[in-house]
Structure 1
Amino acid sequence: MSRTAAFSVGLVLAFLATCQGPPQQLAVEPPPPVPQEHYAQVVAHPDDDLLFMNPDLAEGMRSGRPTTSIYLTAGEADMPDKAGYGAGRQEGTRAAYAQMVGKPNDWSRTTIPVGHGRLAEVDTLRADPDVRLVLLNLPEDANAQQGRHALTRLRQDPALRVTTTVPAGAAVGYPQQFDRRAVVESLTALLDAFQPTVIRLQDDQPDHRYQSNWIGVHNHPDHVAGAALAKEAVSAHRPRAFSPMVLTYRDYNVGDTPSALSQADKTTTREAFAAYVGHDALARGEIYRSWSDNSAYRWPRRGEWVMATEGGGAQAFSVRAHGIARWARTPGGVWSEPELLPLPEPLRPQVSLLREGRGRPVLVAQSEDGARILLLRQGSSDVRSRQWDVVDAPAGAENGAPAAIADSDGRIVLAVKNSAGGVSVRRETAPGRWQPWSELGAQDVQDGLSFVAGLDGVVHLFAATRAAVLHWEIPRAGGARGEQVPIGAARPAGAPVAEHARDGSIRLLVRTDRGGELVERTSSSTGSWSGRTTLPAPGGIGGPTATDPGPRGSADLIRVSRDAAGRVRVADRAGGPWLDVGGAVTDHPATLVEPNGDITLVGIGFDGALVVNTGARGPEGLRFAGWRPAVRPPGSEVRAD
């Protein structure tokens, strides 16, 4: 089957019949073909993607995955020569993309219709036509001629109209007017045209503890407003296939937290930015290194979105742009086609599955604003007909993603990083009845908490600050006991991951600021920490998954991670080494422990489909059969890069 499909010519003909503006300026050609696997990122300025979405951006293109970057503003700032400065930043972006894919910096520059007679510039790398840049050229926040804060005011005032900047040599050589609706409709038209399977966005909910220099928004205002408008376009987007995944990246505040990037990944980002910076006279100083040397997802998924069910069955859930994708596997090993369950309201992307006291699976999610935790209790009836239970989160607008577990009594325990930077915990006493939230008294807690169940209703909770890993032992009756878990001189640079090992001990893994190296600690039955080991940095920006292999497993603990290109790595003993199992998945892989002790890795492919890879036990450890689409014949495999 062809990798691409042609656009309808009707869109272009319709545009030609209705377009406005000087005819001699138009250079309209049929839009480029639509790949089956396609990344699209929407950012506010030239250089935002280079600083905040790398190394994912570069490694994805180097792996041959088509990529389209959409820039909302011309990035002209309040420079005297706005046309020249904006043109320079865009030329820097072209140079950086050519550098990342190792091709000559030679581009075709044409236009694409975005509705109601408006055009955007589309630049295509001649040596790699799967690399494209789309330029809308809206006014940048500092542009005094537009009254400053144009994009923010545009988001807030539907009646406001702004005029685009025209960079020197632009393919759209005349100014255009946009209001709020036109921006969203233009972005929607571009997503409809390019049909991305993965969409990258900036952070519209930045952590209020950092970047106080951006008064009121704690991030560049264009980043926040642009991401919010892009999310509206994503919701309005009409995918021809299954609903795409959405990944959100932190912005300037990565400079305030430890970095988990490996030296190789830092080099990738630095080299791309170096190609850009020669064209931007303002992009100077060490502050840029603090951003290029760090990268993080705003709402990272964890490896808890897959669960084994009775008799060898399984189910998997993934939050998408237009609903929750659900796959189910029969005890015979046959995965269903995905179904898209409607969202009760917009959700953050992290979901987790747990099993409550009566054995029913429970799906745990969170509202997009962080104010509510939603539970979908699954019984014998159709999941689609079930009602979500709503649990109010702690008061405040800065709650992190919840951690959830069923204790040894089968009761659900929830924990969140609260708006004060501490940790709040709440326990269910009966279905639908909850104790009040209680505070554990910590400070500077980062997003990402991890639970492990103990005996007699006790649960163990782990969190990280920018300096230490914290552990609380929380009994049924309350009165938590807290401590720091020593990890050596390194600082935690990601969320801790805790899991029981086959011997019953608690294993704790955390990425550190020593090039992303993983530190692992072991807790004995007496509560003391021993056995400090390290694993080399797997690369990339996601955290690990740890899985208890069960009594039939051949290892003490299964550790899974992915690198910047999405390749999955597995270690079945403390200290490694990592086994590269090939293939590539987007975001966080999960694991299933099979009844016979085998381990099945589960991921989302770059086309949005569920993919699996089963490792069988052997005398030399796990041997993986290779990735394949879960719902396709076993002979068809995912490309191994």
Structure 2
Amino acid sequence: MSRAVALVIAAVAVLASCQAPPPREPVPRPPEPPPEARYVQVVAHPDDDILFMNPDLAEGLRAGRPNTAIYLTGGESDVAEPARYSAERQEGTRASYAQMAAAPNDWLRSTIPVGEGRVAELNTLRADPEIKLVFLNLPDDANTRFGEHALTRLARDRQGSLTVNSTVPLNGTVQHPQPYDRRAVVDALTTLFDTFRPTVVRLQDDQPDQRYQRDWVGVHNHPDHVEGAELTKEALGAHRADGLPPTVLTYRDYNVADVPGGLSDQDKRTTRDAFAAYSAHDVLTSTGDVYGTWSDRSAYRWPRRGAWAVQDARGGVQAFSVQARSLAHWTRTAEGAWRGPELAPVPEPMRPQLSVLGEGRGQPVLVGQSEDGSRLLVKRQDRMGVWPPQWQVLDTPPGTDPTQTGPPAGTVDDDGRLVLALKNAAGGVSVRRESTPGTLQWQPWTDLGGTDIQDGTSVVPGQDGAVHVFATDRARVLHWAVPRAGAARAEDVPIGPGKPAGAPVAEQARDGGVRVLVRTDRGGEFVERSLTPQGRWDAQHALPGPGGIGDPVLTAPGPHTRADLIRVTRDGAGSVHVAERIGPRAHWSDLGGAVTDQPAAVAEPDGTITLIGLGDDGRLLVNTGSQGASELAFTGWHPAVTAPPGSVEQAG
């Protein structure tokens, strides 16, 4: 081939290479993987989570959900050999987690950075690497070698002038003390949250009921529990979540021994077995005495209950949830299209229990409570369907310590006025009404009396402007029929041989009567009583519970269903159960799901029931039931929306 021909061929090849390639079919992007549930619990000592966060903890581990436990202190107490005792407690924790996960007790022990050159011990279960334990090994409250109350002193030293060294357990992977001041503890927790990206965070009780555990002078709980939870909440405020901030579940601690417990027999076996695996390594514990009492009881400090979603005037649905320091808001149009969550900061730290009340005109009202219990935060959606940015602030009834005020419940009386009820700081019940419907102008609080009232009230409308208020003490369910003006006297509502092991939940039935449902200490059994429109109590009905903790949910469906009430509860694994009747022929239908705390139930105009739950992966889940041949048939849980969360100011 001549040189000229070669040059021509080369030129053609160059030109061809400069031309655009032929069009290609676009390569579809793979769908985004669904979010994954990730649990993190932060506790003061090895064994706190095992004792106080079960059966939720064990059920989640058995379901294979990723779980990281963070232990703030070494739990070394003030024994003769603190390094050995701390190591034994940590070995007990590893044994218990392996038992709960039904896996060999075989762990990879390493270290993990927790900020500014500090490291902590990290244990990873070899059979399931999604199960991890982190030990910061801060000094225990009773450790006199470092000065007693080290964590309390750190937590209260906001100037950062105090530094303490971590302890060094025998044969630990961190062989040198790590220095911590207050900021370093918060930074360590924030770093761990950023690393493990939890969708659910479990905490201990930082506002214990001061009527109980009087031996713990000043705090009514172990001070490490209280201060550790406070520091953890501060770290959560600094943590930047991927999307929706994590759901926070707070568990009561020692004072579960002072109130009736509502665990089922199966749940008790679960918690006993988990603690027995731990206790075999801790010579200062036992499976009897008070430890047996603690392992047989479990309770949320601020349960969500079931009033966080409601239908609005346009036939849509509004749902709200406090997520760490944000308010999440989901909306559903009348045509069934969901959007959200829209995220907005809360005006101040809030407790997780919200109530969304539906008025006769259909303008929902949102009621929340400040974290310190001293204020109620209220706002009403306007007639255009917009939530105003401002909250109305109402003081709760006066008391020496507002943190002891319980969360509010509310309803709309048959005059159209909002009515709120709560346990006051003195341990009684107080109610407050709107002066004029639709104004958010209020009459003063009325004290209904009562003593030893437990957190969680329920209020439903009666006739002629009256409302029915229900509460429990440690022995009884109590009822007040409160007229338009003035107070009322309490009456006992007999529930048989059991004692109430949670708050009562009341609802107005289709016949105009009132039903009240409560969990009891008889293996988690539920008991229901009906108050007829004529004011008489009918025979009581009982239904064994499916396990788990938390209060039930009652809702009255539309006229197209056979059932006059739907009862909803959740077991320790997050599965939702529904019962349409109560009595000898009643049963629970297991709807499955992985729902945190209690779902909400919305009665639709067409007679269907929409259950709404917050999944442990952070997604809003819905499940719709319609009348079948014999009972409601549910379609199954599915995400309400798939769009990423947004941020709009009017939601907050």
When normalised by structure 2's length, the TM-score is 0.91
Aligned to 1:349: 352
Extract structure 1 runs of 4+ deviating beyond 6 A. Answer: 1-5
Distance 1:131 1:517, change over 3 A: same
What is the aligned partner in structure 1 of residue 621 from structure 2? 611
Pick one of 577, 599, 608 that aligns with 2:609: 599
The Cα of 1:507 is off from its aligned counterpart by 0.9
**Corresponding residue for 1:262?**
264
Q: CA RMSD for the aligned pairs?
A: 1.6
- In structure 1, distance between residues paired with 2:589 and 2:77: 47
Q: CA deviation at 1:36?
A: 2.3
For residue 434 of structure 1, report the CA deviation from its aligned partner: 1.9
Task: Return 97-106 or 371-380, whichever deviates more.
Answer: 371-380
Give the superposition deviation at 1:553.
2.3
Deviations 1:422-443 (A, max 9, x none): 1111112032432222211101
Distance in 2, matches of 1:401 and 1:414, equals 10
> 1:354-393 CA deviation, whole Å, 9 max, x = no partner?
1346532100000000000110111146756431001100
* Rounded Cα–Cα distance in structure 2 between residues aligned with 1:60 and 1:210: 30
Structure 1 residues 632 and 240: alpha-carbon distance in aligned structure 2, compared to 1, 3 A threshold: closer
Superposition map of 1:346-385 within 5 A: 346-356=349-359, 358-380=361-383, 383=386, 385=388
Q: Distance in 2 between matches of 1:86 and 1:381?
A: 61
The 1-side partners of 2:33 and 2:106 are apart by 23
Aligned to 2:8: none
Deviation at 1:80, TM superposition (A): 1.2
Residue pair 1:378, 1:386 contacting (<8 A) in 2 also: no
Aligned residue for 2:188, secondary structure, equals helix
Mean CA deviation greater in 90-99 or 383-392: 383-392
- Secondary structure at the residue paired with 2:539? strand
1:407-556 to structure 2, matched below 5 A, reads 407-430=413-436, 431-556=439-564
Q: What is aligned with 1:402?
A: 408
Inter-partner Cα distance in structure 2 for 1:563 and 1:151? 35
C-alpha change, 1:509 and 1:322, in structure 2 (3 Å) is: same
Q: Give the distance between the partners of 1:37 and 1:527, measured in 2 at CA.
A: 47
Contact 2:626 2:632 in 1 (8 A): yes
Which position in structure 2 is the counterpart of 1:22?
A: none
Separation in structure 2 between the aligned mates of residue 489 and residue 359 of structure 1, nearest angstrom = 41
Aligned to 1:329: 332
CA contact (8 A) 1:341 1:384 kept: no
Q: 1:544 Cα deviation (Å)?
A: 0.7
- For 1:63-78, list aligned pairs within 5 A: 63-78=63-78
CA distance in 2, matches of 1:2, 1:95: 39
Which residue of the partner structure matches residue 391 of structure 1? 394
Measured in 2, the distance between the counterparts of 1:626 and 1:451 equals 31
Identity of aligned residues (%): 62
**CA separation in 2, counterparts of 1:4 and 1:128?**
21
- TM-score normalised per structure 1: 0.92
What aligned pairs does 1:83-162 form with structure 2 within 5 A after superposition? Answer: 83-157=83-157, 158-162=160-164
- SS of the counterpart of 1:209? coil
Q: Specify the code of the residue in structure 2 equivalent to 1:103.
A: A
Please state how far the C-alpha of 1:584 moved relative to its aligned partner: 2.1
The whole-number CA distance in structure 1 between the counterparts of 2:386 and 2:193 is: 30
Question: Which residue number corresponds to residue 271 of structure 1?
Answer: 273
Q: Is the 8 A contact 2:313 2:362 kept in 1?
A: no
Shift of 1:536: 0.9
Secondary structure at the counterpart of residue 83 of structure 1: helix
Q: SS of 2:434's equivalent?
A: strand
1:526, distance to aligned residue in structure 2 (A): 1.7
Displacement after TM superposition at 1:4 (Å): 9.2
Matches within 5 A, 1:287-302: 287-302=290-305
SS in 2 for 1:99: helix
For residues 384 and 246 of structure 2, what CA distance do their matches in structure 1 show? 28
Task: Kindly state the Cα deviation for residue 3 of structure 1 after the two structures are TM-superposed.
Answer: 10
For residues 4 and 101 of structure 1, what CA distance do their matches in structure 2 show?
Answer: 25
| Counterpart position of 2:322 | 319
Indicate the residue corresponding to 1:50 in structure 2.
50
Give distance in 1, aligned partners of 2:606 and 2:31.
Answer: 39
Matches within 5 A, 1:211-290: 211-284=213-286, 285-290=288-293
Moved more, 252-261 or 238-247: 238-247
Change (3 A) 1:3 1:38: farther
| CA–CA distance in structure 2, aligned partners of residues 355 and 630 of structure 1 | 21
> CA contact under 8 A between 1:312 and 1:333: conserved in structure 2?
no
Q: Structure 1 stretch 266-275 or stretch 431-440: which is displaced more?
A: 431-440
Distance 1:3 1:563, change over 3 A: farther
Q: How many Å separate the matches in 2 of 1:360 and 1:263?
A: 44
- Looking at CA atoms only, which structure, 1 or 2, has the larger radius of gyration? 2
For residue 162 of structure 1, report the CA deviation from its aligned partner: 0.7
Per-residue CA deviation, residues 301-331 of structure 1 (Å, 9 max, x unaligned), is 1110011123431111011013111000011
Residue in 2 that maps onto 1:560: 568
Alpha-carbon distance between aligned partners in 2 of 1:623 and 1:267, rounded to the nearest angstrom = 32
CA distance in 2, matches of 1:462, 1:385: 31
User: In the alignment, is residue 587 of structure 1 matched against residue 597 of structure 2?
Assistant: yes
The structural deviation recorded for 1:334 is 0.5
How many residues are matched? 604
Query: 3-state SS of the aligned residue for 1:546?
Result: strand
Contact 1:310 1:331 in 2 (8 A): no
Q: Which moved more, 1:194-203 or 1:388-397?
A: 388-397
1:572 alignment partner in structure 2: 580
Ranges in structure 1 where 5+ consecutive residues have no aligned partner: 6-34, 634-641
Contact 2:44 2:225 in 1 (8 A): yes
Instruction: Tell me the residue number matched to 1:25.
Output: none
